[in-house]
Amino acid sequence: MSSTNLDKVTKILSEVRNKVPLVHCITNYVTINDCANILLAYGASPAMCEAYDEVFDFVKLSSALYINLGTLNKEQEQAMILASTSAKIHNVPVILDPVACAASVKKIQVINRISQVGKIDVIKGNIGEIKSLAGQSANVRGVDSIDSGEGALESCIALSKKCSCVVAATGKKDFISDGRKSAIIENGTEMFTKITGSGCMLGALCGAACGASEDKFSAVVSAILSMNIAGEEAVKAANAPGSFRVKLMDCIYQLNEEKLKEGAKITWK
């Protein structure tokens, strides 16, 4: 059973590379370059289009839409909402990254609007963000969650049922649920917290995986596992953040199904 699950998950890496999904990202300017580069390294194709006049048509061409609420300027806000309606009309999967939603009323409003006029297939946030969206109290500081994983799986399941989508909460451990089945991943490295954009890059990878596979739950597990295994490899070669970032891209590029299978520490629920 769990071996079958793992097979499904690792196979998605090859599906990304075969299908080269076009991932339309509307994302913050802090890590927009990292997101585009990691998509290329993963085998996908990035489209970082955010002009209000262009997003509707661009989503139509895309395999997935990744919406990251990091820097939420007015034109981005309008573009996100419009893009999500295009995704609904054209049946394009939407991955939402609710960056810092626990610290901002505005972000909750935008999430509600997207869910109202568009759609959301995956919510991927840190544990603090997911707990907050699930209506539980969370321990956050600026954009960072300093929450322990306790109760995180329950929050994923609750939010997943509430929004009828796959939910992933990342932290020291990562929790993924589609409301019925769940997974806990214990791979990764502390070094992810020493660079900016680990979460954003992961969100982009979730977009690529969901753009390559209909099985959203396995796709999200696959993207998170890929990021974590690459991170583990990178930190072995580079134990300081500047070098780690460089190596991380190399390791994503050099990833293969065998490395995922050998390294995976997943508990299925």
Please report the sign of the dihedral spanned by the C-alpha atoms of residue 131, residue 137, residue 142, residue 146: negative
- Return the residue of 4, 74, 91, 190 that touches a second copy, per CB under 8 A: 74
What is the nearest approach in angstroms of a second copy to the Cβ of residue 37?
5
Please work out the total of residues on this chain that contact a second copy, with binding judged by CB under 8 A.
Answer: 60
Interacting span for a second copy (CB under 8 A) from 142-150, 180-188, 213-221, 261-269: 142-150
246 binds a second copy, rule: CB under 8 A: yes
What is the nearest approach in angstroms of a second copy to the Cβ of residue 247?
6
> Scanning residues 150 to 189, which ones bind a second copy (CB under 8 A)?
none
The answer to whether 187 and 9 have CB atoms below 8 angstroms apart is no
- Return the residue of 137, 242, 268, 269 that touches a second copy, per CB under 8 A: 242
Q: Which phi and psi angles does 136 have, rounded to 5°?
A: -100, 160
247 binds a second copy, rule: CB under 8 A: yes
Element containing residue 203 per DSSP (H, E)? helix 198-212
Interacting span for a second copy (CB under 8 A) from 48-56, 90-98, 148-156, 212-220: 48-56
Interacting span for a second copy (CB under 8 A) from 46-54, 117-125, 178-186, 206-214: 46-54
Interacting span for a second copy (CB under 8 A) from 157-165, 169-177, 190-198, 207-215: 190-198
Amino acid identity for residue 238 in this structure? A
Closer Cβ to a second copy, 34 or 129, answer by number: 34
Q: What distance in Å separates the CA atoms of residue 149 and residue 121, rounded to the nearest whole number?
A: 23
Q: Is 177 helix (H, G, I), strand (E, B) or coil?
A: strand
The answer to whether 268 and 2 have CB atoms below 8 angstroms apart is yes
- The reply to whether 124 sits in an annotated binding site is yes
DSSP single-letter state for residue 93: -
Element containing residue 126 per DSSP (H, E)? strand 122-126
User: Between vectors from CA 205 to CA 222 and to CA 151, what angle results, nearest 5°?
Assistant: 60
**Binding residue positions for ATP:** 124, 170
